[in-house]
Amino acid sequence: MIRKQLSQCASRLFSEGTPPLPDAERKYKNLSRRRAHRLTRLSAWLVPLFIAVSVSAGDWYVSTAGNDQWSGTFPSPKADQSDGPFATLEAARNRIRALKPSSALKEATDVYLRSGVYEQKSAFELGAADSGTADAPITYKGYPTETVILSGGRVLRGFQKVAEPAELDRLAPSARGQIWRTDLRANGVEDFGEATGAGNRAELFFDGKPMTLARWPNEGFARVKQVVGGKPMTVHGITGDEVGKFLYDGDRPDRWIRETDVWLHGYWFWDWSDAFQRIQSIDTNRKLIELDPPYHGYGYRNGQRYYALNALIELDSEGEWFLDRNQGRLYFWPPESTGEHRTVFSVLPTLIEIKDASWITFENLTLEATRATAVKITGGTRNGVLNCKLHDIGGWAVTITEGTKNGVSDCEIEQIGEGGVSLSGGDRETLAPSEHFAENNRIHSFGRVFRTYRPAVSVNGVGNRVTHNLIYDGPHNAIQLGGNDHLIEFNEIHHVCFETGDVGAFYMGRDWTARGTVIRHNYFHDIQGPGLHGAMAVYLDDSASGITVFGNVFYRAGRAAFIGGGRDNLIENNIFVDCNPSVHVDARGLGWMRDHVEGDGILPKRLASVPYQKSPWSDRYPQLLNLLEDEPGAPKGNTIARNISVGGKWLNLEKAAAPLVRFDDNWVDKDPGFMDRDNLDFRIRTGSPVFETGFKQIPIEQIGPRKR
């Protein structure tokens, strides 16, 4: 009975279309804590019952003090060391797998990991043979109240202060006497990874925080003085050069002549596209840097930002490090040099891989120190990452591809080299949803290494949901979206886009067919970006169409709701405070973007790639049926209705778009009766005349992560 209740609770966690209820989760946790005691107390009469009806796998245990030859049924080693927990996850997985042919798995199975750091030798892999079922889900979880760390790195030891004259000569004068080094091979590390490449970029972490690969300048950027590649180019009236050769100011690059593998990381042409580029040569007389091909796809232009990295001579401040890959020596200026500290070098690409398995959950774990994606879920159904901390990750925290109803919930995701959670699933041919989800997570400090197009949540396919998350501290997009019929709801998003320009906290674009998404009851605030065009909160870029933006709050959110030439978008019942402007609508498809929306442009090609003339497409999106014959570049069908705009600027409307946009009952520059604007309480008082326009109260109190 107890296992049946647990199974039902786990099933509810991944229920169709609805998040777990708070009291359901409390019931689940309480059952987990009480279960061992109850089963022991009742074992005298339960055991005969199990034998008579079915065999249950029971609970399994893993410990750093365990042994894979033991039974795994005891939480700690027995006093005589004759039995106890397993030492590895693989042993627990194999034992559970072995029970399946005998139909022994009839009820919920938990694998508990006792406290400690588990340095994984390889990714923990689960396949179809390792699946649970609706009645017998399988959970790998940290033991209650204990801290369990799965690490893809190796703790480094044997540091010695650099004292040899030849090595000291390679250091900046200010760093001499401050730098420690250790031999990676002596620490059991043979794969040194790459300095910059995605997927195999090695990193160093100190006491749970990422350290900085030696760079100049230590903060911010230098600027390209003048591009001199010899292949000039002009894009949208902006001139640049296709070849990576440019002049620099000052004499800092003169220091890099003795270095063998210096890279530059920069925004070389646009403020929304970064790239790492290796230096091929430096001409100190001409003050000219030439980069290795392949060159940045968008080219290079004067005044753009970059910094240098991976130069030992630039190891000149606390928290910086450098790896001499020829010698296998790692150099480090630690933030603190006394006391007990944990210095970790990332080694594994991935910690957990689930492929074509179902009903598997990882819960109450800390995952850290991977070079690429920490958790990969491919296919299957109702797999999840629940109440975990994922930090110090080199790539993505979690990627979910194909399958149905897989998700990430109640997690803390921070210090991520690329993006947070990627959801991709559903069938665009039939518009069948995947129902993957990211909910109730705190995602911050993402895009730490690769700065653009690595959002907190990436969404593709059909029918995914992103709900009740808190997202902040990201240099570019918070949510990036493609595909159909997604739900973005009750999220708080702030302080993103701070390093990039022409960017959106929510971003999608250049596809008429990516319709049906609802952006509802979110709070966007304190969003701004530097460079050309700044930042938007909801950016429907380059003819993005068929999107509903309803009941959101925008406060100091740049160009808040931005329709970039698209069609059939609805901006309704939103609150805009101190935005500039609150709403933007342009007609770019009739101007500079005409080539993309007519003839064999990219938007007609994307339209042709889906069966928009057949059901269910023709039923769901009838506006697509005659789009090509109805001035495809014209921003028709957009409605701006029953919004409140206070402070800042209300509207930026291109002249060509003005007669095509419908405006109804918007409340502009009049006091709507906020509860307490000074303290950012944007609820509307009962009895406000704004409700007479049809405006509906926004459930602001429900925005953000919910307490469980």
81: which residues sit within 8 A by CB, 6+ positions away? Answer: none
Confidence of residue 104 (pLDDT cuts 50, 70, 90): low
Tokens of 493: 């998003």
Q: How is residue 497 annotated by DSSP?
A: S
The CATH number of 120-152+348-496 is 2.160.20.10
Per-residue pLDDT of 377-414, as tens digits, reads: 999 999 999 999 999 999 999 999 999 999 999 999 99
Terminal-to-terminal C-alpha distance of the chain: 24
Residue 45, pLDDT score: 25
What mean pLDDT comes out for the span 330-336?
95
β-bridge partners, 567: none
Whether residue 113 contacts residue 140, with contact meaning beta carbons closer than 8 Å, is answered with yes
Higher pLDDT, 2 or 420: 420
d(CA 507, CA 527): 13
What mean pLDDT comes out for the span 20-32?
36
Specify the 3-state DSSP secondary structure of 228: coil
Residue 58, pLDDT score: 76
Confidence of residue 707 (pLDDT cuts 50, 70, 90): confident
Greatest alpha-carbon span in the chain: 89
Single pTM value for the model? 0.92
Residue 100, pLDDT score: 83
E strand or H helix at 24, and its extent? helix 22-53
What mean pLDDT comes out for the span 458-463?
98
Write down the residue that tokens 């892999």 correspond to. 125
> In this structure, is the dihedral angle defined by the CA atoms of residues 162, 167, 169 and 175, taken in order, positive or negative?
negative
Reference 436, options 410, 459, 418; nearest CA is 459
Confidence of residue 105 (pLDDT cuts 50, 70, 90): confident
Residue 533, pLDDT score: 81
Whether residue 94 contacts residue 71, with contact meaning beta carbons closer than 8 Å, is answered with no
What mean pLDDT comes out for the span 123-135?
96
Residue 338, pLDDT score: 62
What mean pLDDT comes out for the span 574-584?
98
Residue 687 CA, distance from chain mean position: 41
Tokens of 118: 């588990």
Residue 487, pLDDT score: 98
Whether residue 673 contacts residue 684, with contact meaning beta carbons closer than 8 Å, is answered with yes
Query: Among residues of the chain, what percentage have pLDDT more than 70?
Result: 91
Whether residue 13 contacts residue 409, with contact meaning beta carbons closer than 8 Å, is answered with yes
Tally of CB atoms within 10 A around 42: 13
Tokens of 303: 């005044």
d(CA 538, CA 557): 9
336: which residues sit within 8 A by CB, 6+ positions away? Answer: none
Per-residue pLDDT of 540-559, as tens digits, reads: 999 999 999 999 999 999 99
d(CA 466, CA 281): 46
Whether residue 1 contacts residue 31, with contact meaning beta carbons closer than 8 Å, is answered with no
Per-residue pLDDT of 504-543, as tens digits, reads: 999 999 999 999 999 999 999 999 988 668 899 999 999 9
What is the helix, strand, coil percentage profile of the chain, to 5? 15, 35, 50
pLDDT above 50: residue 14: no
d(CA 471, CA 492): 6
Residue 286, pLDDT score: 97
Write down the residue that tokens 């919920």 correspond to. 108
pLDDT above 60: residue 32: no
Specify the 3-state DSSP secondary structure of 165: helix
Residue 447, pLDDT score: 98
Domain boundaries, given as residue ranges, for the chain? 2-119, 120-152+348-496, 153-214+315-343, 222-309, 536-708
d(CA 442, CA 238): 39
Higher pLDDT, 113 or 57: 113
What mean pLDDT comes out for the span 475-504?
97
Helix axes 22-53, 2-13, angle to 10 degrees: 140
pLDDT above 60: residue 10: no
pLDDT above 70: residue 29: no
267: which residues sit within 8 A by CB, 6+ positions away? Answer: 273, 274, 304, 305, 306, 500, 531
pLDDT above 60: residue 116: yes
pLDDT above 50: residue 37: no
β-bridge partners, 539: 507, 562
d(CA 652, CA 144): 54
d(CA 375, CA 366): 12
Tally of CB atoms within 10 A around 387: 20
Pairing type for strands 535-541 and 503-509 reads parallel
Pairing type for strands 60-62 and 651-653 reads unpaired
Q: Which amino acid is at 538?
A: V
Higher pLDDT, 47 or 451: 451
Whether residue 479 contacts residue 456, with contact meaning beta carbons closer than 8 Å, is answered with yes
d(CA 659, CA 649): 20
Pairing type for strands 681-684 and 360-363 reads unpaired
Residue 336, pLDDT score: 84
Three-point CA angle 544, 549, 554, nearest 5°: 115
C-alpha distances (whole Å) from 530 to each of 274, 467, 475, 535 are 14, 28, 10, 8
Mean pLDDT lowest among 18-27, 348-357, 483-492: 18-27
Encode burial over 150-163: b for 16+ CB neighbours within 10 A, e otherwise.
bbbbbebeebeebe
Tokens of 688: 């406000």
Residue 49, pLDDT score: 25
Q: How many residues does the chain have?
A: 708
Confidence of residue 35 (pLDDT cuts 50, 70, 90): very low
Mean pLDDT for the chain overall: 92
Higher pLDDT, 263 or 6: 263
What mean pLDDT comes out for the span 350-363?
98
β-bridge partners, 354: 126, 377
Write down the residue that tokens 């990430």 correspond to. 408
pLDDT above 70: residue 324: yes
Residue 464, pLDDT score: 98
Three-point CA angle 567, 571, 576, nearest 5°: 140
Confidence of residue 106 (pLDDT cuts 50, 70, 90): confident
Residue 28, pLDDT score: 33
627: which residues sit within 8 A by CB, 6+ positions away? Answer: 512, 567, 607
Per-residue pLDDT of 689-705, as tens digits, reads: 999 999 999 999 999 99
